[in-house]
Amino acid sequence: MTIQVGDHLPQATFRVIGPEGPTPKTTDDVFKGRRVVLVAVPGAFTPTCHRNHLPGYVTRRADILARGIDAIAVTSVNDVFVLDAWSKAAGAEGIEFLADGNGDFAKALGLDMDGTGFGMGIRSKRYAMLVEDGVVRVLNVEDAPSKADLSGAEALLKAL
């Protein structure tokens, strides 16, 4: 079953890069008591993700935060080292990158997709959501992984 507006996020553990290397970060660590824009992409460095989707959030970060948002987070079914390299390559300072390396979070949301036809395995669908204290308030899911319209920064700003 796919998560819906009004639902609580499932419990999951992401990996992030900390001063000592990879560190676990739970759903509560990221979302409890905060208003967070969560953006999910099928894969770091992939063309649509790298050229079309993430850049809007990097460019519009200040505008999004000015709307009372505490953080912008990006998640992908990639390992923590790939996401760390991607955040640096994209100049995404101030955006949190949450590695869902095994796709557990994507599967728990019901927003996983099968990318095996492209040699990518199980991945996350492309979406953007507003989460307030762990509850989904806005959810924009793309109907195709090559699109970044509904889940782009401009569309999300309109929903805020």
Q: Exposure of 154 by Cβ count < 10 A (0-12 exposed, 13-18 middle, 19+ buried)?
A: exposed
**Cα dihedral 113, 154, 140, 102 sign:** positive
Query: Catalytic one among 37, 40, 41, 49?
Result: 49
Backbone torsions φ then ψ of 86, nearest 5 degrees: -65, -40
Q: How far is CA 29 from CA 13, 26, 100, 122, in A?
A: 9, 5, 15, 25
Active site residue 49: yes
Residue 15 contacts residue 24 (beta carbons within 8 Å): yes
**Cα dihedral 100, 102, 107, 108 sign:** negative
Write out the catalytic residue numbers. Answer: 49
